[in-house]
Structures are given as C-alpha cells and as structure tokens.
Amino acid sequence: MRQKKQDALGEQELLLLRYVTERGGATVGEATEGFGGPNDVTRSTVVTVMDRLREKGFLTREKGDDGVYRYRPSRPQEEVLGGLVARFVERTLGGRMTALTAYFTRSERLTETEKAELRRLLEKMEDRDASH
C-alpha cells in the first residue's frame, strides 16, 4: 500500500521533526543554528521544511511576544517518535519486526536502562496479549 504524498516524510523532514520534537519546540533561528549548521542546511531550507511539517500536521506554529514564530510538535514526543519508528518499520523493513528485533539483540549500543525499558515494554505487551 502506497502512502499518500501528504503523509510521506522525506529524510530531512524526519531529521528536523526529531530535532524540534526532542527540544519541545524551536524557532527557525534555533533550528537553523542547532540543526541546519551541523547538517549543512540553509535557513531557507529549514523554513521550507518546518512549513511542510506544519502543513502535514506534525508541527504547530505560534507567534511569541517577540514576534518570532515558535514551532512545536503537534503531538507528545513519545507519540511522534513512535510514529517515526512505525514509518521506518513500514518503509524500510517492509513491516517486518523480526529485522528490528534482530538488530536489538545484536546491538552492543543499548544501555542497561534501554534494555530494562525493552523488557518492561515486552512484559506490557505480553500482559496485553494475555488479557485478550
């Protein structure tokens, strides 16, 4: 099944959405400095991408007392990041969770805290399945 153009997110959109979401919001200037500079992205591109994300419903925008627009995620961080993971699994892995599971079991990058969180989530999933 093909995604609607409006729902599809490009690589730059995904990265900038994550940047804004992790900070709970950003102005164009903040995003240009913190995201654009390190990624060699111009201010005009940051503006374009943030406006696209707003049009697609991922960001909201409001003018502050200083007259500068602040962009904020339209949903809580966990929901946005969960949606990004779901898109990755569908687009890149063809919906196959086993590839993602294999990655986690082989990864040496997971911290003990992250491992504990994965265990907690697995238990939660098992409890949910047992109750159905």
In sequence order, the β-bridge partners of residue 27 are: 70
Position 1 confidence tier, pLDDT thresholds 50, 70, 90:
very low
DSSP type of residue 132: -
Give this prediction's pTM.
0.67
Please count the other Cβ atoms lying within 10 Å of the Cβ belonging to residue 120: 10
Tokens of 51: 């406006």
Kind plus residue range of the DSSP H or E element containing 6:
none
pLDDT surpasses 80 at 55: yes
pLDDT value of residue 7:
56
